[in-house]
Amino acid sequence: MSKDKRLLSEKDIDNILKNLSDKIISQHSSESKKNPLVLIGIHRRGVPLGKRLKNIIEKKTDKKLLSGTLDITLYRDDLDTIGHTPVVKNTDIPFDLTNKNIVLVDDVLFTGRTVRAALNELTDFGRPKRIQLSVLIDRGHRELPISADYIGKAIKTERNEIVMVRLKEIDGIDEVVITEK
Amino acid sequence: MKSEKQIARLPTSPDAGRRNGGQAWKHKHLLGLEDLSALEINHILDTAESFKEISTRNIKKVPTLRGKVVVNMFVEPSTRTKMSFSLAAKRLSADVVDFSPSTSSLSKGETLKDTARNIEAMGIDIVIIRHTSPGAPHMLSRIIDASVINAGDGAHEHPTQGLLDIFTMREQKGKIKGLKVAVVGDILHSRVARSNIWGLTKLGAEVIAVGPPTLIPLQLRDLGIKISYNLDEVIPEVDVINILRIQLERQRSKFFPTVREYARLFGINSERLKKAKKDVMIMHPGPINRGVEITPEIADGNQSVILRQVTNGLSVRMAVLYLVSAVSQKGE
């Protein structure tokens, strides 16, 4: 028994991404060449979201952005307990992160554990100047002291609800849906 | 949490199969490629593909197997396989213990079973074993709780070598299905050949076994393998030539008259390769006998991927260690 509630449509997601990119641009407008902005998408749905943000920001600022993808599987804290090995996807950061201004991109901020793993992994690629976090949805229920710098939409959820972000690149449709377990 | 999200999204996602790959892998041990399905072999290769990137990082280490203990139990000598496994385990942050037979209690007459049980009593998670007897890893997997990875058992299987060979073929040729692969040399005594044959045929490649009649078991035909005793007839049609080492220590001229004659009939040299496809790929699991099964100019030439195989071996072994590790947790 599950009841789906549609939270965001394709148009909503478009608007939110434009909004997020404006906020990112304004915060990074005074950056020097020494500390360029880098967008890193977290697998899976942070990757297409990161690409979309990159496109919007590049169009608005007329500047090329460095970007990469991050798979946090090997840094997870629950490999001993989930009883199977999750699929390891490609991490692609073909440049040194030292002195870069990084914005991590993910779809949903929930417990904060994914972000914890991502932070640990990123520091293995150098010593960034700063790391920020951008998410489409902040649904609360943090288990670690982590917060996002750019939030598309903050919503109240029950712990057992599931927030599903579907994106064209992966799911064939753009929408956000809440389901009860 | 990611895992919750994953399960929740399964039914609606078009690539649910790939995401479900984690659960598709359910083996606690890796004993041979004969036991695996095409799906499982591809899952290892895909995982290895993702692990390649780690070796290009400044810090070539991930915390995945932190706190796990891996034992290298090589009862038969080895350089590259043992080093490759050690390095792979270390890049995953496992602790690695080496066990060498000459300085161990095996030389005092202790059985493999007792040795393994004693090692296990110290609390280990994964045993990597190479043994002269076929089936030794299988026996071990039945008596201890740790994961067992076969690093070569007699003339039976050498699954990680088979996997890294197939991985290298896929990397260089883009696919395995429809590939024509000649495995040349001493098929009879070769565990590398057997693992190649199992893996390649499952993935849809065509394998041709080439060598002197005394070194090719006819039963291979039952597995759908073509057999040829004439290398020059086979060379023009194949995409890959995987050359086996003539195991001088195992047979000493019982199976062919002289090493010189073997080199003349089955050695890979530039003269012979003139008739091959332009992009033919030359492989060898090492160690090579230069001038016997392969000439130096071919081993070091453009078509040779011998060192690429060694590099890929690391990613493949990291993938295998990662995959068996999580299953060993709940398998008890």
Is A44 contained in some domain?
yes
**CATH 3.40.50.1370, chain B: domain bounds:** 25-158+312-330, 160-309
Q: Is 70 exceeded by the pLDDT of residue A51?
A: yes
Is A125 contained in some domain?
yes
Q: How many structural domains comprise chain A? A: 1
Cβ of B50 within 8 Å of Cβ of A164? The answer is no
**Domain encompassing residue A94:** 12-28+35-77+87-159
Query: Using CB atoms, which residue from A79, A90, A125 is nearest to B326?
Result: A79
Is A166 contained in some domain?
no
Query: Using CB atoms, which residue from A82, A85, A124 is nearest to B322?
Result: A85
In chain A, what residues touch B25 (CB-CB under 8 Å)?
84-85
CATH code, A24: 3.40.50.2020
Nearest 5°: the CA angle B179, B185, B189 is 110
Is A122 contained in some domain?
yes
- Is A160's Cβ below 8 Å from some Cβ in B? no
> What's residue B331's pLDDT?
44
pLDDT along chain B (332 residues), means of 10: 39 40 78 96 96 91 95 89 97 92 68 84 93 94 94 96 98 97 95 97 97 94 93 97 85 78 94 96 95 95 96 97 79 42
Sign of the torsion formed by the C-alpha atoms of B36, B42, B43 and B45: positive
- Is A132's Cβ below 8 Å from some Cβ in B? no
pTM attached to this predicted model: 0.90
Fold category of B160-309 in CATH: Rossmann fold (3.40.50)
ipTM score for this prediction? 0.88
> What's residue A33's pLDDT?
79
Q: Is 50 exceeded by the pLDDT of residue A48?
A: yes
Mean pLDDT of A35-55: 97
Cβ of A85 within 8 Å of Cβ of B51? The answer is no
Is A165 contained in some domain?
no
Is A131 contained in some domain?
yes
Lowest mean pLDDT among A108-117, A129-138, A140-149, B57-66: B57-66
Fold category of B25-158+312-330 in CATH: Rossmann fold (3.40.50)
